[in-house]
Amino acid sequence: MPFHLLKKEPIEVGLRRIAHEQIDIAVANFRDDTTPQHRQVHSLRCRCKKLRGLLRLTQPLMGYAFLIEDQRFRAAAKALAEHRESDVIAKTIESLGGSYDQSGTSQTQVSSAAIKQALEMIRTCQGAVDSWPLPVHGFADLAPGFSRTYRKCLDAFDRVLREPNDENFHRLRKWAKYHWYQVRILERLNKTEIRKQRKKLRMLQLALGSAHDLALLQAMLESQNDCDMWLLDRAVDRKKTLYADALTISHEIFARSGDELVADYSRWWVDWAN
């Protein structure tokens, strides 16, 4: 089923459906022996981020339950973070024309204990989905969470403009990703207009995601006594280019205020629901 609300589907039912489907996909990937381990890990971490984006859409409605569920998904993804970073660094080196041996790093297999921990955590989440407090009847109930996430994006973008460092770009990436997932959930309210937003947000995620991978590689190289300067220079130059691209895209995406964006979605909801 799709990662968006369906027209004839009660909102509460749709949100629970999306949550169950994302968890099911993550768990099923670990049952499939034909799926490479790095893809299994990536899938679970990606599903957890999608679910945390969904939770932020309903955050004001869920109260303390939001904190519990958000931390569960965060913990499930974090259990596999070290392996994911190792895999990312190795692939980033390869994309720059280097080799794993050249940088002193190597790809590692995630431990069975880490996998077990992540799966146990996400199965706990799965059992809780049907009891989430979701008194949702229309977009007005989702608007506070949607607006809050978007305002976090605006704040992160403002920080990047004032101080364009790795930390601030990473913050922008995090909140823009949550916003992107929420836009995808609401896409059918106005398929034409929202799809334009979704595509721009995807472009931003690709640029910031690749830049983040390069920042990880840069930090690792700079920590080595015998740093490969050729590889480091290539990583830094490529990261700067991606950050410049991300700024250009961000100016387009975040041109509207939170009130303006919510007003658009509210109007689209009325047309879609009738």
Task: Report whether 145 contacts 178 (CB < 8 A).
Answer: no
* CA 224/CA 121 separation, integer angstroms: 35
* CA 228/CA 6 separation, integer angstroms: 52
The pTM of the whole model exceeds 0.85:
yes
Query: Of the ranges 95-104, 130-139, 165-174, 246-255, which one carries the lowest mean pLDDT score?
Result: 95-104
According to DSSP, residue 4 is labeled S
Quick one: average pLDDT of 167-180? Answer: 98
5-9, 19-23, 33-37: range with highest mean pLDDT: 19-23
Q: Given CA atoms 7, 10, 12, 18 in this order, what sign does their dihedral have? A: negative
Q: Which residues of 93-123 are buried (b: 16+ CB within 10 A; e: fewer)?
A: beebebeeeebebeeeebeeebbebbbebbe
Give the pLDDT band (50/70/90) at residue 90: confident
Quick one: average pLDDT of 64-75? Answer: 94
| Tens digit of each residue's pLDDT (9 = 90 or more) over 27-47 | 888 888 888 887 888 889 999
- Quote the pLDDT of residue 101: 56
| Tens digit of each residue's pLDDT (9 = 90 or more) over 183-217 | 999 999 999 999 999 999 999 999 999 999 999 99
* CA 214/CA 150 separation, integer angstroms: 26
Three-class secondary structure of residue 123 per DSSP: helix
Placement of tokens 């973008």 in the chain:
157
Residue type, 67: L
Look at residue 81 and tell me whether its pLDDT is greater than 90: no
DSSP 134-171: ----SHHHHHHHHHHHHHHHHHHHHHHHH---HHHHHH
